[in-house]
Structure 1
Amino acid sequence: MNFLKTLFWIAITVIAVVFATNNWRPVSINLWAGQVADANLPVALFIAFLIGFLPTWAWHRAKLWHLRRQLPAPIPSVPSVPPTPVIDAVPARPIAGSADAVI
């Protein structure tokens, strides 16, 4: 399973590198008040990805932290009692016709 996971991440990395090298062009980004920022296209896309991903990731981690704090304390385990041996109260009766049967 780790092999497939590694292969997947290698494929994603190769695709990202090929995309970045083929689209390494400067683009103009219009900011507020007439300001313009020049950046390469892959860098601008990566920054846009982080702007969308990081707040969602932070909210998810905060929610997990909050839920873990609400879990009740673990209940201490009850020591197990060893099972009592089963003792037959009725003695075994000899089979009729056997050599040690009482007549």
Structure 2
Amino acid sequence: MSFLKTLFWIVLSAVVVLFSINNWLPVTVNLWGGLQADVKLPLLLFVFFLIGFVPTIIYYRTKTWRMSKRLDTVSRQLHDERGMKAFRAPQRSTEPEANPIAPEAEVNENDELHLTTPAPKADKA
């Protein structure tokens, strides 16, 4: 695909150069107040091409930039929403628990808690 793109630009530049060489004629442009300007035809065409092309490309680039920002925002919101569904509230089970504290769970001698050992019950005194 890169080859075709390069070939297209080479052919287009060759056509522009041939057109410019064959039409390198001075054109008289009547300005305001009786002023006249002699300008070469290819330069005049290039200036008017830019006058039409630059505002259009600026408009479409800003439109693309705005749409990409909107898409990023919606993507972030969707990502957050999916994350919230993954961390929904736990549901209560209908089965009664047999023994909430396992008899083999022990507290270390330094009273450190681990994920496998439950916290000791505090005495109400």
Give me the CA root mean square deviation.
Answer: 2.0
Cα deviation, residue 41, structure 1: 0.5
1:50 corresponds to 2:65: no
| 1:44 alignment partner AA | L
Identity in percent: 47
In structure 2, C-alpha distance between the alignment counterparts of 1:28 and 1:67, rounded to whole Å: 45
TM-score by length of 2: 0.56
- Corresponding position of 2:23: 23
Cα deviation, residue 67, structure 1: 1.6
**Structure having greater relative contact order (Cα 8 Å, sep ≥ 6):** 1
- Corresponding position of 1:35: 35
The SS at the match of 1:24 is: coil
In structure 2, C-alpha distance between the alignment counterparts of 1:62 and 1:36, rounded to whole Å: 38
- Corresponding position of 1:69: 69
1:8 corresponds to 2:29: no
Asked which structure has the greater CA Rg, the reply is 2
Structure 2, gaps ≥5 residues long: 84-125
TM-score by length of 1: 0.67
Structure 1, gaps ≥5 residues long: 79-103
Out of 55-64 and 30-39, give the one that drifted further.
30-39
